[in-house]
Structure 1
Amino acid sequence: MTEAPLAPEPTTLVRNAAFAVAWDASAERHAYMPGADVAWRGGAITFVGRGYDGPADRVIDGSGLMVMPGLVNIHCHPSSEPMNKGLTDEVGSPGLYNSSLYEYLPIFRGDPSGVKACVRVALAELLLSGVTTVADLSMAHPGWLDLLGESGLRVVIAPMFRSARWFTRNGHVVDYEWDEKAGVKAMEEAFALIERAEQHPSGRLSGMVVPAQIDTCTPELLKDSHAEAKRRGLSWQIHAAQSVVEFHEITRRHGLTPIQWLDKLGTLGPNTIIGHGIFLDDHPRTRWSTDIDLGLLADSGTTVAHCPTVFARRGIMLRDFGRYRRRGVNIGLGTDTFPHNMLDEMRLAAYAARMMAETPRALTSADLFEAATVNGAKALGRDDIGRLAPGCRADLVLVDITHPGMRPARDPVRSLIYAAADRAIRSVFVDGHEVVRDGKCLTIDYAAAAAELEEAQKQMIAGVPERDWAHRPLEAISPPTFLTI
Structure 2
Amino acid sequence: MTTTLIRNADLAIAWDATAKEHTYLPDADIAFRDGVLTFVGRGYVGTPDAEIDGAGLMVMPGLVNIHSHPSSEPMNKGFTDEVGTPGLYNSSLYEYLPIFRADAEAVPSCVRVAMSELLLSGVTTVADLSMAHPGWLDLLAEAGMRVCIAPMFRSARWFTKNGHVVEYEWDEAAGEKAMAEAFTLIERAEQHECGRLFGMVVPAQIDTCSETLLRESKQEAKARGLSWQIHAAQSVVEFHEITRRHGFTPIGWLDSMGLLSERAIIGHGIFLDDHPSTPWHTRTDLSRLAETGTTVAHCPTVFARRGISLKDIGRYRRAGVNLGLGTDTYPHNMLDEMRLAAYVARTQATDPRTLSSSDLFHAATIGGAQALGRDDIGRLAVGCRADFSLVDVTHPRMQPARDPLRSLIYSAGDRALKAVYVDGHKVVEDGEVLTMDYRAAAAHLHESQKRIEGQVPLRDWAHRSAEQIAPTTFRWA
Paired residues of 1:110 and 1:459 also in contact (CA < 8 A): no
Count residues in correspondence.
Answer: 477
Say yes or no: does 1:440 pair with 2:426: no
* Aligned pair partner of 1:231 in 216, 223, 226: 223
Deviation (angstroms), 1:439: 1.9
* Deviation string, structure 1 residues 344-397 (Cα, Å, up to 9, x no partner): 000000000000000110110000000000000000001110000000000011
1:254 counterpart = 2:254: no
What CA distance in whole angstroms lies between the structure 1 residues aligned with 2:327 and 2:362? 16
Q: Secondary structure at the match of 1:19?
A: strand
**Which range moves more in the overlay, 174-183 or 435-444?**
435-444
- Which residue number corresponds to residue 181 of structure 2? 189
The SS at the match of 1:208 is: strand
Aligned residue among 466, 472, 475 for 1:474: 466
**Where does residue 113 of structure 1 map in the other structure?**
105
Which amino acid is 2:288 matched to?
L
In structure 2, how many angstroms separate the alpha carbons of the residues matched to 1:353 and 1:313?
A: 15
Instruction: State the distance in 1 between where 2:117 and 2:103 align.
Output: 22
SS of structure 1 residue aligned to 2:174? helix
- Is 2:148 the counterpart of 1:156? yes
| In the alignment, structure 1 residue 362 sits paired with structure 2 residue 357 | no
Say if 2:290 is the partner of 1:298.
Answer: yes
Structure 2 gap segments, 5+ residues each: none
Mapped to 2, the partners of 1:165 and 1:321 lie a distance apart of: 30
> Take 1:189 and 1:110, find their aligned partners in 2: how far apart are those partners?
22
The CA distance in 2 between the partners of 1:276 and 1:262, in whole Å, is 14
- 2:157 aligns with one of 152, 165, 168: 165
Once the two structures are superposed, residues 239-263 of structure 1 have per-residue CA deviations (whole angstroms, 9 ceiling, x without a partner) of 0000000000000000100000000
TM-score normalized by the length of structure 2: 1.00
Superimposed CA distance per residue, residues 115-170 of structure 1 (whole angstroms, 9 cap, x where no aligned partner): 00000000000000000000000000000000001110000000000000000000
1:46 pairs with 4, 14, 38, which one? 38
Deviation string, structure 1 residues 406-451 (Cα, Å, up to 9, x no partner) = 0111111000000000000111110111101122110011111100
Q: Percent identity?
A: 73
Structure 2 CA distance, aligned partners of 1:102 and 1:404?
A: 44
CA offsets 1:319-363 (integer angstroms, 9 cap, x no match): 001100000000000001000000000000000000000011011
Amino acid at match of 1:142: P
Unpaired stretches in structure 1, ≥5 consecutive residues: 1-8
Q: 1:310 aligns with which of 302, 313, 338?
A: 302
Cα contact 1:17–1:35 (8 A) shared by 2: yes
- Paired with 1:111 and 1:68, the residues of 2 have a C-alpha distance of 37
When normalised by structure 1's length, the TM-score is 0.98
For 1:256-335, list aligned pairs within 5 A: 256-335=248-327
How far off is 1:227 after superposition? 0.4
Q: 1:427 aligns with which of 419, 424, 429?
A: 419
> Could you tell me which of 52, 61, 80 is aligned with 2:72?
80
Does the 8 Å contact 1:159/1:209 carry over to 2?
yes
Determine which of 401, 425, 445 is the counterpart of 1:453.
Answer: 445
Task: Measure the CA separation in 2 of the matches of 1:270 and 1:386.
Answer: 18
Partner Cα separation in structure 1 for residue 261 and residue 448 of structure 2: 40
SS at match of 1:238: strand
Distance, in Å, in 2 between the alignment partners of 1:455 and 1:230 is 43
In structure 2, distance between residues paired with 1:354 and 1:275: 21
Alpha-carbon separation, structure 1, partners of 2:46 and 2:192:
33
Measured in 1, the distance between the counterparts of 2:446 and 2:295 equals 35
RMSD (Å) for aligned C-alpha atoms: 0.5
Cα distance in 2 between the residues matched to 1:207 and 1:189: 13
Farther-moved stretch of structure 1 (329-338 vs 104-113): 104-113
